[in-house]
Amino acid sequence: MSKEIRTRFAPSPTGYMHIGNLRTAIYEYLIAKSQNGKFILRIEDTDQERYVDNAREVIYETLQSVNLKYDEGPDIGGPYGPYVQSERKAIYKEYAKKLVELGGAYYCFCSKERLDQLRKGSESQGGVFEYDKFCRLLTNEEVESRLQNNEAYVIRQKVPETGSTSFEDLVYGTITVENQTLADGILMKADGMPTYNFANVVDDHLMEITHVVRGSEYLSSTPKYNLIYQSFGWEIPTYLHVAPIMKTSEKKLSKREGDASFQDLLEKGFLKEAIINYIVLLGWSPSTNEEFFTLSELKEQFSLKGLSKSPAIFDINKLKWMNGEYLRRMSAEDFHKVAIPYYKEIVHCGIDLKKVSLLLQHRTEILSEIPEKIDFLAELPNYDSQLYINKKMKTDLVIALNHLRASKEELLLLNQWKHDEIEGCLTTLASKLGVKNGQVLWPVRIALSGKASTPGGAVELAELLGQDETLRRLEVGIFKLG
């Protein structure tokens, strides 16, 4: 009987969901669910300086909003809790002491002043600070005596000084690191909190995690984790290190530099389904040429073989295109529902909002574009008369003025203000004048919107605005040109 697949998403509560973090969560989820396994949520809050209030709620809400349903976690419980690292301090302390007994770690009593001197010495010689392993040489008696005297200490990993450590990664293959390049890093801090390097190993073992997804920046430090596993005699999980998501070929995405988080993208008007679909493809290729997947389809299609070693570039224009495709593939009713919050300016103008949605659906890439596309419906802007000049339509200011006057006279006589009647009226007028339809329709569109680009043409805009407002705006256009 094969072992149940168990993956975990272990974010730090820093207040937002970075795109790279969300991609890791999705990969962990898909690895588990594509093989009928369990997906676990664990909060890694050992770095209290970075903790942000309500950050846990952001994590819960984000995962729930994108339907990444976890089987165990802080808010729902499970057999391996608690699922918040700050609530597991006693567990780490117990295992840290055990690791010392097994020879995989040691007590370090070095003061901050001594460490600062070592750091200055390294920097003055142009090197990188590395602990000199002074306390590694203390005898058991010395250690015991200092513990009895309640001296402050940390617990450091005792890395072998010779040989090498290797592991198999499902993306990068065999990775080997010389032990002499690994520092005796701190596992337990003086305040009794574990470092990430120790806590994640203990938790992954105790929670029976089988597959760990990490960024490729952890490739060189993973052997340190494995040495801890080996000291305890624990089974090492399967590793998948994924390439970073880049802003450019040389720069990573960074919230600190203004790059969007998941929440930022939602606020900018991207659909969560499009965001998920896009970021899954940043580092993973399906076996077909298909680009559009629901989460259910991804559970069927996802394969570890599709993961790439190459960094992926986050292309906001590609995401916009994909988002636009999602909007176009929606039913008219569903699009109207997501568009409604962006109609605040025109909601009290007596305009048929469903007709607005029909015009916008195939002309919108991101929802936040909508207010700018329809602001003229609420109020005609103070536009430049030069907009009436259009070489393609063969209109100039004189032609525009004449055709606006004629259009107003014809539209004034209409008894039914419907699309077909308005269109028939204006195209018939063009025929009478012996000109192409565009020479009549273009000036009318400009008069009604004050814009060269609108979500609909002259007829659609006139129908939306109603007869009285259409005639009023045509009069404004005539006055502007007269």
Is 355 annotated as catalytic? no
The string of DSSP codes covering 22-87 is HHHHHHHHHHHHTTT-EEEE-B----GGG--TTHHHHHHHHHHHTT---SBBTTTB-TT---BGGG
- Distance between CA 383 and CA 405 in Å, rounded? 19
Q: Which residues make Cβ contacts (< 8 Å) with residue 231, sequence separation at least 6?
A: 99, 102, 103, 104, 105
Q: Report whether 104 contacts 157 (CB < 8 A).
A: yes
Please pick, among 89, 255, 318, 436, the residue that the annotation labels catalytic: 255
Report CA Rg, the chain.
32
Report how far apart, in Å, the C-alpha atoms of 431 and of each of 205, 392, 421, 439 are.
81, 18, 15, 11
Q: Which residues make Cβ contacts (< 8 Å) with residue 248, sequence separation at least 6?
A: 313
- Distance between CA 19 and CA 215 in Å, rounded? 12
Q: Which residues make Cβ contacts (< 8 Å) with residue 284, sequence separation at least 6?
A: 27, 302, 306, 307, 308
- Distance between CA 480 and CA 314 in Å, rounded? 46
Token pair of 28 as six digits: 């962990």
Token pair of 18 as six digits: 């970075």
Q: Report whether 188 contacts 198 (CB < 8 A).
A: yes
Which residues are catalytic, by number? 255
